[in-house]
Structure 1
Amino acid sequence: MTSIEDTARFRDAMFSYAPTPLKVLVRGEGARVWDADGVEYLDFLAGIAVNSLGHAHPVFVEAVTRQASTIAHVSNYFASQPQLELAERLKRLTGGDRVFFCNSGTEAIEAAIKVARRTGRPRILALEKSFHGRSTGALAITGKAAYREPFEPLLPGPEFLPTTVEALEAAMDDDVAALVLEPIKGEAGVLDLPDGYLRAARELTTRHGALLILDEIQTGAGRTGDWFAFQHDGIVPDLVALAKGIGGGFPIGALVAFGAAGDLLKPGDHGTTFGGNPLATATSNAVLGEIERTGLVGNARAMGELIRGGVLALANPAVTDVSGRGLLVGIGLAGPWAGAVATRALELGLIINAAAEDRIRLAPPLTIDTAHVDRFLSLFSQALTATVPAATEGPTR
């Protein structure tokens, strides 16, 4: 089956996704993938920060195979050893106290919203240009109007703030149930928070008795060069939503509660049939264990520095800034050329993402090495050179 034939099948069988997929991918190994026509690509997106160990990593494959041959699902009427082991591992890695398992990032955010509702306070604060998921609750606190407005009215109460300490100080009072934010705004193009913002957010929420809810769905599991991005700032949140990289490609989400926040939902207040099933938790345990055993958190920090330095060293006037930490990297462009650059990169054999019209997002596997970085820099430079000069008189479409 060729990519062209599969694309026609995709259009006939699927809805709500793009009418034509970029490529039909059939297999992967490490940081490389191949499409149905046998073309090889360097994958610097990793399923949008999901494939922490890359593709077909032996530890991932063995964990899925072993657990699937033992017991895969038991419902939430029962516990399992992998579930308990993963809960204890996440408590240790985050410093949290209790864990709720679900199946995705948006579900982790939905659980966090229900915790916030249990405070009895009416207001939830979120940030402009934020992204927290596509379900109606998560969408209600997503600071991108284009995503929200077609589905309004949504959950009442969320308010969207500019990302400044001054705006947060002005909005915060004793009616606020929670402040929800991403330590780095991934979907917006990997936008960093201002220096000191997270510490100010912790101080203000504590002063007013509000919850600080961190969306670490994209930044967690070592991606930013710390196990979790909040640890870089030395603060302790009330709730942390996790997904993506903790499963390494297997769907799983989690909400970690710190202190009294873990007591706000009572038994029966929330649940999920598949959350924390043995197959998902065994796989997550294996992925996180491998990250820990092989020092991939430090590797993310080191490779991220190489990427950022390498992009800046290209000295291409089209590049305005390089943002993010570890292996969550944003590249700002001087014009709305990100889509054209990403398309040309794909033609050259490099997978990257146009997260905004003028921003490229990188989120490669945590396992990449210097050879991968060198290859990325070569291909990215070629994509920029081939695309941006033609785009300088106006947007390339």
Structure 2
Amino acid sequence: MNHRELFFRHLAQTSAEPLAWEIRKAEGAYLWDAAGNAYLDLIGGISVCHVGHRHPRVMQAIAAQADQYLHVMVYGELIQSPQVQYAELLTRHLPASLHQVYFTNSGAEAVEGAMKLAKRYTGRPHIFCFHQSYHGSTQGALSLLGDEYWRQAYRPLLPGVYRFIYNDDEVIDHINHQTACVILETIQAEAGVVVPDKSWMQALAARCRQTGTLLVLDEVQCGFGRNGTLWAFEQFGVIPDILVLGKALGGGLPLGAFIASREIMQSLTHDPVLGHITTFGGHPLCCAAGKAAMEVLLEEQLCEQVYEKEKLFRQLLEHLPCREIRSRGLMIAIEFDSFEMNKQIIHRCWKKGVFMDWYLFAPHCMRIAPPLIITEQQIQQACTVIDESVHEVLKHQKSS
């Protein structure tokens, strides 16, 4: 029995039509399938592989740590140098109030931890979130997720969750002394790259401060330079009370984190003790890989190259017959008339060796979120394929 047959027989399926490509190798900005076909990767594992696949520094760090120890004890009991060193590196590049890190296994688990922390610290029952926001698929994170299509099959979900329109002033009027936290993506990804107004973000933060409500920013997708600064919140002149990270945090291995001040974090240490606990969160191998990837990001100044690469993408794609191109750094959405049209274009791109997909809440929008190491030549290659594919689909539509 071949791997494809085993895939469908023994791996739980989450869609009726999975891609079912057998990937044999990944390196830099490319993937190779079992037939030896190469694909330029424009999604990087959904914003995971910022420094590319299997960066030498990351692989060296994994090998070095694997030679020392793997799992030894549940999170927070023993001093494990990869956790300590990575937490120090992260907080060195964050505002002073964000100086304690709780590592988890994923971004969704980090969201769960942030929700618990906000309720525990404030003693309040209500959480505010936003339509078309994505925070993960676990039960608590799903309660926040901003699209009823994805929530409706799993009710009842958490009570006390209130949803508002992103970038709309209504939420500001409703924040009160019963609101534990307001949680939002600094830039909405799955909605198709929706960037809030700076004035709205600042007014939201000000109202949170006024009422003692915690501002929780989810930068699972937009952190680590994706939008042109190390942290997207830097672009809006606000500082979150709790920052949520994931995806690129692990350098290609599973890792998430929520980060806050010591004062806020200490509320998890008593009444009850072990207020949040995880077995594998902050796994030493994942922390070693993540730290190495972040060092590459900083030392190779990849963040500083993002805006120029975004500019090149836009220049090469600006003449596309599409509804709109939205971008903030290397998070780009190309909006077409329908999901069916977008899907046809994407399938043609796949056949031509360029790998991308669509956004969860905006399936009519093409997702482009490549590794930050992508070169100008690779951007030109990708845009040529996209342009050809769009015009081929339009030509086919006119002739049919």
TM alignment of 1:172-321, pairs within 5 A = 172-258=175-261, 260-266=263-269, 267-312=273-318, 315-317=319-321, 319-321=322-324
Q: Deviations over 1:280-301 (max 9, x none)?
A: 1111110000111110111223
**Any unmatched runs of 5+ in structure 1?**
none
Residue from 367, 381, 392 that aligns with 1:386? 392
1:338 and 2:338 aligned: no
Change over 3 Å in CA distance of 1:391–1:263 after alignment to 2: farther
What does residue 101 of structure 2 align with? Answer: 99
SS of match in other structure, 2:323? strand
Residue pair 1:11, 1:20 contacting (<8 A) in 2 also: no
2:86 partner letter: L
2:6 to 6, 9, 21: 9
Residue 154 (structure 1) aligns with: 157
> Distance between the aligned counterparts of 1:347 and 1:226, measured in 2?
34
Q: CA RMSD in A?
A: 1.8
Matches within 5 A, 1:35-46: 35-46=33-44
* SS state at 1:71 partner: coil
- How far apart, in 2, do the equivalents of 1:97 and 1:391 lie? 55
Secondary structure at 1:220 match in 2: coil
Q: CA deviation at 1:125?
A: 0.6
C-alpha offsets along residues 60-88 of structure 1, whole Å, 9 cap, x if unaligned? 11111111111122222211111111111
Alignment-derived partner of residue 86 in structure 1: 86
Asked if structure 2 preserves the Cα contact closer than 8 Å seen for 1:183 and 1:216, the reply is yes
Distance 2:355 2:189 in 1: 17
Distance in 2 of aligned mates of 1:105 and 1:393: 46
Distance in 1 of aligned mates of 2:131 and 2:395: 32
* Matched position secondary structure for 2:389: helix
Of residues 129-138 and 9-18 in structure 1, the stretch that sits farther from structure 2 once superposed is 9-18
For the residue of structure 2 that corresponds to 1:190, the secondary structure is: coil
Residues matched between the structures, number: 388
Residue 73 of structure 1 aligns with which residue?
71
The two structures have a TM-score, normalised by structure 2, of: 0.93
Distance 1:194 1:344 in 2: 35
Question: Kindly, what percent of the aligned residue pairs are identical?
Answer: 32
Q: Report deviation, 1:152.
A: 0.6
- What is the Cα deviation at residue 19 of structure 1? 4.3
TM score, norm. by length of structure 1: 0.93
* Kept after mapping to 1: 8 A contact 2:193/2:328: no
Q: For the Cα contact (< 8 Å) 1:100–1:254, is it kept in 2?
A: yes
Seen in structure 2, the aligned counterparts of structure 1 residues 261 and 306 have a Cα distance that, compared at 3 Å, is: farther
